[in-house]
Structure 1
Amino acid sequence: MIEGTLGFIGTGTITEAIITGIFAVPDRAADILVSPRNAEVAAKLAARYPSVRIAGSNQEIVDAADMLFLAVRPQIAEEVIRALRFRPGQRVVSLIAAVHDAKLTEWIDQKVEIVRAVPLPFVADRTGVTMIYPPEPRAASFFAGLGTAVECETQNEYDLLAAASALMGTYFGLLERTTEWLTSQGISEQKSRNYLAPLFASLGRTSVISQDRSPGDLRREFSTKGGLNEQLFREFEQGGGTEALTAALTSVLLRIKT
């Protein structure tokens, strides 16, 4: 359920995805204010959804919003946020990557309720998973309506999941390299994609619905003893694939924490 006015400072890809997901439910009513900075995206959203309005300024959004989303780029976040006047107790959801609570609190300079969230683009079709920190019922309910919400109990949990979310490019990288290998062997790129994309999607769905089985259990279940799946993973691991993966995750985590 959405109550009150939602305000978005920053009208980029994630803001567009969230708003698209909100109105994916037929006859959904929501009062939404968006910033004018990205005029093209703001105009498109206002034209598509009658209850989306373009504010005259960012301060107008802060003044009107019951739930305020900060969705600006990290490079300009301090400049944008310091220029605004927030209300005591205001609910602020930060979607700004790699900006921790201490910085946000300093820039906002007011006693507000800060929740950090990392919604992924899939919230547009209400299948996204969003991690939030700290746990907060209203923010969790909001993002659960756009897919799945995972409430992190500690900053460390939040940072670890943020590092894991960096696997999206690697996922498509595996698809890319496998497609390249297939095409080098004589199969067309389109036919390769027609096979691989549903295969990967089915494996993802299996993981989602098999919460009672560990990833290791699923790997063994999908790998016949002495079979091809077992061979490929063994050679991938022996070739340094899993070691490279964990090293990269550790490196990304260090970057997030520092």
Structure 2
Amino acid sequence: MRLGFVGTGTITEAIVTGLCTGGSDDRIAVSPRNAERAAQLAAAFPEVSIAGDNQAVVDAGADMLFLAIRPQVAEAVIRPLTFSPGQTVVSLVAAMDRESLLSWIGVDVTLVQAIPLPFVARRDGVTAIYPGNEQVSALFDRLGRAVPCDRKEEYDVLAAASAMMGTTFGVMERLTGWMQMQGMRDETARAYLAPLFSSLAQTALSSPEMSFTALREEFSTHGGLNEQVFRDFDTRGGTQALTEAMDRVLARIRTGIAPQD
């Protein structure tokens, strides 16, 4: 398969790394914009070549073209490019409405939006895509698991949920800070917390028949410490703050408001 990446940032690096270390026989062209990262990818993987410019990437990515650019510059990058009718274009542009993307592309293409997460680099990512597309799903299944959405509303909700990554690390950061205040070394706290969070996630993955409520109750003795902490979180504003934050993120996604520099 011939793949092209307009934009050579973190997510492009993660996708290319996952594909190439997974035994890919794809031919991959990356844009020269981030010269250092493009050079690193080309040096690491013989499947990767650096195109002369973005138009050369579009031409090289005949089977599947990825738009991996920041929303702030998306219009300026996309409008000058000449796409091929029927070309499969995968937009990784965050919080960008389809109508604008199609308008900038200017020809009838197969446009799929996707939210790959950094874990695709080790082929352990979950990637929401909209609308469902067999070819795009198959590619992201090689990098973990694709989750096709039939409705844009579903896709937007998954996009909002993906915004919890920083907060998850933030909770671990705050908890580590509290543990340090109790006299514990940072490395000891991290050595304990990271596997704890990982094991909880693995438990949820391995128990699909159990709701999160059931899992919480399973791991919380009545009158015990786990029950106490969740009750404090729930009754002292934690649930409300989380819900309001997610509502604001979802509203931002649905209105297509680009993040600020």
- The TM-score, its normalising length taken from structure 2, stands at 0.96
CA RMSD of aligned residues (A): 0.8
Identity of aligned residues (%): 57
Quote the residue 1:48 is aligned against. Answer: 44
Query: What is the one-letter code of the residue matched to 2:254?
Result: K
Quote the residue 1:140 is aligned against. Answer: 137
SS of the equivalent of 1:212 reads coil
Quote the residue 1:248 is aligned against. Answer: 245
Deviation at 1:60, TM superposition (A): 1.3
Quote the residue 1:231 is aligned against. Answer: 228
Deviation at 1:100, TM superposition (A): 1.3
Query: What is the one-letter code of the residue matched to 1:30?
Result: D
Are 2:42 and 1:31 equivalent residues in the alignment? no
Quote the residue 2:173 is aligned against. Answer: 176
Deviations 1:123-176 (A, max 9, x none): 000111100000111101110110111111111111111111111111011101
Deviations 1:206-241 (A, max 9, x none): 111111110000000000111110111011111111
Query: What is the one-letter code of the residue matched to 2:84?
Result: R
Partners of 2:99 and 2:132 in 1: CA distance: 17
Quote the residue 1:213 is aligned against. Answer: 210
Partners of 1:187 and 1:88 in 2: CA distance: 60
Structure 1 segments of 4+ aligned residues over 3 angstroms from their partners: none
Query: What is the one-letter code of the residue matched to 1:133?
Result: Y
Deviation at 1:64, TM superposition (A): 2.2
Quote the residue 1:85 is aligned against. Answer: 82
The answer as to whether partners of 2:125 and 2:145 remain within 8 angstroms in 1 is yes
1:120 to 102, 117, 120: 117
Partners of 2:133 and 2:20 in 1: CA distance: 23
Deviations 1:177-206 (A, max 9, x none): 110001100111110111011000000111
Q: How many residues align?
A: 254
Deviations 1:68-114 (A, max 9, x none): 00001111111111101111100000000111110011000100000
Unaligned segments of structure 1, at least 5 residues: none
Unaligned segments of structure 2, at least 5 residues: 256-261
The answer as to whether partners of 2:6 and 2:68 remain within 8 angstroms in 1 is yes
Partners of 1:101 and 1:227 in 2: CA distance: 49
SS of the equivalent of 1:87 reads coil
The one of the two structures with greater contact order (alpha-carbon pairs below 8 A, sep at least 6) is 2
1:58 to 39, 54, 61: 54
The answer as to whether partners of 2:7 and 2:34 remain within 8 angstroms in 1 is yes
Partners of 2:242 and 2:73 in 1: CA distance: 32
Partners of 1:175 and 1:61 in 2: CA distance: 40
Are 2:60 and 1:72 equivalent residues in the alignment? no
SS of the equivalent of 1:23 reads helix
